[in-house]
Every structure is written in structure tokens, then in C-alpha cells.
Amino acid sequence: MKLEDVLAAADAISSTGAPPTLKAVRDYLGGGSYSDIGPFLKVWRANRADENETAGSPPIPDVVQRAVTTTIDEIWKAGLQLARNEYESDRSALVAERLTMRETEAELAALADTLGVELEVQRSENSLLKAQLVEMQRLLSESSGRTKQLQELFDKQLAAGTRLRKAVD
């Protein structure tokens, strides 16, 4: 059910001199619910009331028509100027925001580059420290082996010294 269908049906019924009631419009359309037809029929009646009011009105004097036209033109110009001002204000704010975003983007890119370099330095230092650790572990192992040999030699010398003392005594 469309507004245009109900308006056309009401016009057709009214042109025959009959009042366009809900039932008459429904019968004319061949069906439909009263709850769908009712709001559209109210629109038709409101339009007819407007037409009847303006049909009996005297014509608008030229002086009044020009004054209304001038006033409307002034209101239109003022509205356009307000819109232009608001547009320029919004545009300026957006341009400033875009510049700020570009600066922030550049700062973030520089920071990312710096962090990338620092990461590489840290990785290099980490590799160097790992190599030093391996070397120190090797030296510690070697030193432990040497210490063990020296301990064994000391123990042998101590035993030999003890035997010599016993032999001398």
C-alpha cells in the first residue's frame, strides 16, 4: 500500500462527488487494511484543506512579495556565509590536525629507526657477550683441569716430603 495509491483513489472518489471514506477507498483499491489506509487518507484531507485555504485567499501584493523575497534572499545569504565560515573553520582545524598527525608520524618513524639501530647494537653486544662467556667457560674448564693437576702434584710432593721426613727421623 502506497501513499500515491490512496491519494489517487481519494481524488477519484471525490471527483464523483462521494466522500472518500476509509471503506470507499478500500473498496476502490480492492483491499487493504484500514490501519494502512487511515494515515494516508489523513494526508489527503490535510492537502485538500491547504488547497481550500489558499484558493480563497487574495493575491499577495507586489510590495509584500518583494519584501518577502528580499528577506528570504538576505536569510539565504546569511545562512551561506555561516556555512562558509563553519566550513573554513572545520577545514582549518582538519589541516592543523593533518599536520600534527604528519609530525607525529615522522617522530614515530624516527623513533622506530632509532629503536631498530639500538636493537642491532644490543644484538651485537649480546653476541659478543656470548662469545666471551664461551671463552671464559673454556678457560675455567682448562683452569679446573690445571688446578686438578697441580693438586695431584702437590699431594704427591706432600707425600714424598712426608716419606723423606720419616726417613730422616
Domain ranges of the chain: 1-57, 62-141
pLDDT digits (tens, 9 = 90+) for 87-114: 999 999 999 999 999 999 999 999 999 9
CA 19 to chain centre: 56
* Mean pLDDT of all residues in 58-62: 79
pLDDT at 59 (0 to 100): 76
Is the pLDDT at 145 greater than 60, yes or no? yes
Q: 126-154: buried (b, 16+ CB within 10 Å) or exposed (e) per residue?
A: eeeeeeeeeeeeeeeeeeeeeeeeeeeee
- Arithmetic mean of pLDDT over the chain: 91
CA atoms of 160 and 10, how far apart (whole Å): 136
* Mean pLDDT of all residues in 125-141: 95
Name the percent of the chain lying above pLDDT 70: 95
pLDDT digits (tens, 9 = 90+) for 13-53: 999 999 999 999 999 999 999 999 999 999 999 988 767 66
Contact 36, 1 (CB under 8 A): yes
pLDDT at 37 (0 to 100): 92
Is the pLDDT at 130 greater than 70, yes or no? yes
pLDDT at 50 (0 to 100): 67
Is the pLDDT at 55 greater than 60, yes or no? no
Is the pLDDT at 7 greater than 80, yes or no? yes
Q: How far apart, in Å, do the first and last CA atoms of the chain sit?
A: 135
pLDDT digits (tens, 9 = 90+) for 147-160: 999 999 999 999 99
